[in-house]
């Protein structure tokens, strides 16, 4: 019985030691990053693989691309390292990228300051041959202050070079439920 207790303690101590080693190694790798690279800390596994020119599994890329908050971060990182071909094709569309850009813009916007609970693509509006606007509806649930407003409208404008750029032409929402007219969208596009 004593031997079993000793073996259990040894296993627990080795397990804790391994855990401490892995956390320390992770923090050390993260500390070696520049300020710009820290921006990508939530997808650091991809960043480190790109820096070391290692293969990144499709499963890992898919996991980050599915996440509305991390999708554009992955897109921007792959553009930066000239590896955009690795981005999962199902998410390499204006509506999927626009959804993520809008969600991240809402997180940073002082009036909204929150990741919306739902974002849905409504339509594409061609403003001119060079500019398309993706129109989305979004909403948040209680206790968010905008929960009572229901679905609100957001806009993400892309130009014809969107596949090689790390940001859309513009992102906008008036935090209203009505979709702007095409003329209002043209004015919005011209103002940016």
Report the C-alpha gap between 31 and 38 in whole angstroms: 9
Does position 138 have pLDDT exceeding 90, yes or no? yes
Report the C-alpha gap between 122 and 95 in whole angstroms: 9
Give the DSSP letter string of 59-125: HHHHHHHHSTTTHHHHHHHHHHTT-GGGS-GGG-SHHHHHHHHHHHHHHH-TTT-S--SEEEEEEEE
What is the per-residue pLDDT for 33? 59
Does position 149 have pLDDT exceeding 80, yes or no? yes
Q: Six-digit token pair at 146?
A: 């905008």
Segments making up each domain of the chain, as ranges: 2-86, 93-191
What is the per-residue pLDDT for 36? 58
From first CA to last CA, the distance across the chain in angstroms is 75
Phi, psi of 181 (to 5 degrees): -70, 165
- Count of residues for the chain? 192
Q: What is the pLDDT of residues 70-110, one digit of tens each?
A: 999 999 999 989 999 999 999 999 899 999 999 999 998 88
Report the C-alpha gap between 51 and 21 in whole angstroms: 22
Does position 118 have pLDDT exceeding 90, yes or no? yes
What is the per-residue pLDDT for 191? 73
Q: Give the DSSP letter of residue 144.
A: S
Nearest CA to 102 out of 65, 72, 75 is that of 72
Does position 146 have pLDDT exceeding 80, yes or no? yes
pTM, two decimal places: 0.77
Q: What is the pLDDT of residues 25-79, one digit of tens each?
A: 666 666 665 665 666 677 888 888 988 999 999 999 999 999 999 999 999 999 9
What is the per-residue pLDDT for 99? 95
What is the per-residue pLDDT for 84? 92
What mean pLDDT comes out for the span 157-170?
A: 78
Report the C-alpha gap between 168 and 94 in whole angstroms: 9
Q: Six-digit token pair at 91?
A: 């998410």
């Amino acid at each position: 019985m004593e031997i079993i207790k000793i073996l259990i303690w040894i296993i627990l101590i080795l397990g804790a030691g391994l855990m401490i080693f892995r956390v320390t190694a992770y923090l050390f790798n993260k500390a070696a990053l520049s300020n710009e690279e820290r921006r990508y800390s939530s997808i650091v596994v991809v960043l480190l693989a790109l820096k070391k020119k290692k293969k990144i599994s499709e499963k890992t890329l898919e996991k980050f691309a599915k996440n509305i908050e991390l999708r554009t971060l992955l897109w921007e990182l792959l553009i930066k390292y000239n590896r955009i071909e690795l981005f999962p094709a199902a998410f390499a569309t204006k509506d999927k990228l626009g959804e993520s850009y809008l969600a991240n813009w809402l997180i940073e916007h002082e009036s909204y300051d929150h990741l919306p609970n739902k974002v849905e693509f409504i339509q594409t509006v061609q403003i001119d041959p060079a500019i398309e606007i993706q129109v989305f509806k979004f909403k948040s649930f209680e206790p968010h202050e905008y929960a009572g407003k229901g679905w609100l409208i957001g806009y993400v404008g892309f130009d014809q070079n969107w596949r090689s750029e790390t940001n859309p032409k513009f992102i906008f929402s008036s935090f209203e439920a009505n979709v702007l007219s095409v003329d209002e969208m043209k004015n919005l596009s011209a103002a940016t």
